[in-house]
Amino acid sequence: MIPIEYGKYYHIYRGINGTKIFKEKDDYEHFFNLMSIYLESIADIYAYAALGNHFHFAIRIKKENEIGFLNPHYAKNEDMDLKWRTFFPKNESEKREKKYNKKPIPEKMLQHFFSSYAKGFNEKYMRTGALWEHPFDRLIVNNETYLKRLILYIHNNPVKHGFCESANDYPWTSYLSLVSVKPTKLSRNRVLGWFDSKANFKSLHKGHDDFDDINFLFLE
């Protein structure tokens, strides 16, 4: 298994054959809320997509000196809303009584993210058993060309799987946030900088692309 290391770029993905992990709008919204809770403190997020039975992220794990101390929000009690419960690690309730003098560990935060979603999903839909069949998949992204191709691939994944006809027609990817002028917690400026301009970014998302040059890297 490829380790999660400080300062490195990754393609994080996970899929379940034959099992939907997102059944309705509320599921996607909760998934991305968990993304904010668990990933923003330990990673720069460049692109994401969630589609029925799988998801993709393009991220950079921050260097250790870029990661702050645990946020009290992360360690609060289980948070209830109308449909979803947000599950936090069991030992976090004890940390609420202490000063937040520990930094989150990137691999554990990723594990907590997916574990929290799985527990909430099982509770919401009254199902039992593991939602994930194996640990989350990860690949190191070791050059800018591959990273740009990965971002295009992630945003066009809904097109590939027949959810829509173009990247801007699907709401559950980072594409619309990256081309918007609204505030975002994504690393928007850096992503658009890799594509030289927003206009070029949009243009490259419009053409047909089978991604044969990188398709061998994706197990879905």
**What pLDDT digit, counting tens, does each position of 107-143 carry?**
999 999 999 999 999 999 998 888 886 778 899 999 9
Q: Tell whether the torsion through CA atoms of 51, 67, 149 and 111 is positive or negative.
A: negative
Strand partners, 14: 55
> Which of 59, 57, 62 lies closest to 6, judged by CA?
62
Q: Say which amino acid occupies 106.
A: P
Amino acid 210: pLDDT: 64
Token pair of 34 as six digits: 């968990």
Q: Which domains does the chain have, with CATH numbers?
A: 9-214 (3.30.70.1290)
Distance CA 170, CA 51 (A): 10
Average pLDDT over residues 60-76: 80
Give the pLDDT band of residue 102 (cuts 50, 70, 90).
confident
The pLDDT tens digits of the residues spanning 168-197 come to 999 999 999 999 999 998 999 999 999 999
pLDDT exceeds cutoff 60 at 30: yes
Cβ neighbours of residue 179 closer than 8 Å, sequence gap 6 or more:
168, 198, 201, 202
